[in-house]
Amino acid sequence: MTTKRNQTRPDALRAAERRHRAFALRLEGRTFRQIGDELGINGGTAHRDITRHMAEQRERFAELAADALTLELERLDSMLAAVWQSAMGGHLPAVDRVLKISERRARLLGLDRPAPVDGGPVVLTVKYPADWGQDEFEPGPPVGDE
């Protein structure tokens, strides 16, 4: 069974601070080698530190986004409950409000996104009459008035 290392250990705290500092230097436009020189590490370690810092930030932002989505959906539920009876009673402004709330929910949840298309690009080969060989062209029946 794997366990997370204690993130409050002094060496873990120093490593986290180094990753943060390396990322800040990268934001300034420094190369990995320059970052390594400034922090007393090699360029490969600087790269790994920055990559790990970005992964940690992505995870953190994903958690924050999930929390924000949950909060927004709860707010929409409260708003919907407030106007639902009026809408069901035929009050047209309330019906419009219910539709707007539903549209917002669908956007937040990605329900209106087009379905992804499987497969790659379609390749068409077009042959123009000038490119046809004599044996490829068979005249068809006449079109129009007979």
Q: Is the pLDDT of residue 134 over 70?
A: no
pLDDT at position 118: 78
Does residue 106 contact residue 112 with C-beta atoms inside 8 Å?
yes
pLDDT at position 104: 97
Long-range contacts of residues 96-104, Cβ cutoff 8 Å, at least 24 apart = 101/76, 104/76
d(C-alpha 46, C-alpha 39), whole Å: 8
pLDDT at position 2: 46
pLDDT tens column, 98-123 = 999 999 999 999 998 888 877 777 77
Q: Is the pLDDT of residue 137 over 70?
A: no
Q: At what angle do helices 10-27 and 43-88 cross, to 10 degrees?
A: 80
Q: Which tops the pLDDT comparison, 6 or 123?
A: 123
79 confidence band (pLDDT: 50, 70, 90): very high
pLDDT tens column, 37-71 = 999 999 999 999 999 999 999 999 999 999 999 99
